[in-house]
């Protein structure tokens, strides 16, 4: 017998769960720096980002994939190159607000 399709119930907890996962994705120093660089410079390649942060390209790619999976960044291809950019600059504003609270 075929299994019945799962029913998705949307609740007030859905947006809280998404927010929690997004904050977890942002909660790493390398990812915070990637968000800062993308907010300030616009679209960048992995090479540009790993060189700017002085980290291995594989490390930059790993952290970009985490951000991409949570829809903080997206990427687009131009020829052979893949450019990453923020899906919304409000992610950077969120980090700025957090840092402003901490400095008080």
Helix (H) / strand (E) element for 19: namely helix 12-26
Phi, psi of 6 (to 5 degrees): -75, 140
Closest listed residue to residue 81, CA positions, set 39, 44, 30: 44
Task: Give me the number of domains the chain comprises.
Answer: 1
20 within some domain: yes
Q: What is the pLDDT of residue 103?
A: 86
Residue range 10-68, pLDDT digits in tens: 566 788 899 999 999 999 999 999 999 999 999 999 999 999 999 999 999 999 999 99
Taking a C-beta distance cutoff of 8 angstroms, is the pair 53, 38 a contact?
no
Q: Is residue 7 part of a domain?
A: no
Give residue 33's domain range: 14-103
For residue 2, being part of any structural domain is answered with no
> Left, alpha or beta for 73 (phi > 0: left; psi -120 to 50: alpha)?
beta
Tell me, what DSSP letter sits at residue 54?
A: T
Q: What is the pTM of this model?
A: 0.84
The answer to the question of residue 29 being in a domain is yes
pLDDT band at 3 (very low <50, low <70, confident <90, very high): low
Summarised one tens digit per residue, pLDDT across range 62-91 is 999 999 999 999 999 999 999 999 999 999
23 found inside a domain:
yes
How far is Cα 27 from Cα 77, in angstroms, rounded to an integer? 27
Measuring CA to CA, how many Å separate 88 from each of 31, 36, 54, 69, 101?
Answer: 15, 12, 25, 14, 21
Is 56 domain-assigned? yes
pLDDT for 15 equals: 87
The whole-number pLDDT of residue 5 equals 56
Question: Which CATH number covers residue 86?
Answer: 1.10.10.10
């Amino acid at each position: 017998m075929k299994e019945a399709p799962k029913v998705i119930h949307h609740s007030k907890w859905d947006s809280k769960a998404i927010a929690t996962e997004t904050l977890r994705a942002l909660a790493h120093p390398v990812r915070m720096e990637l968000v800062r660089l993308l907010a300030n410079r616009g679209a960048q390649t992995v090479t540009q980002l790993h060189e700017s942060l002085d980290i291995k390209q594989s490390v930059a790619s790993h952290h970009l994939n985490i951000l991409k999976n949570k829809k903080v960044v997206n990427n687009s291809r131009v020829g052979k190159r893949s450019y990453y950019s923020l899906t919304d600059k409000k992610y950077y504003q969120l980090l700025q607000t957090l840092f402003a609270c901490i400095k008080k």
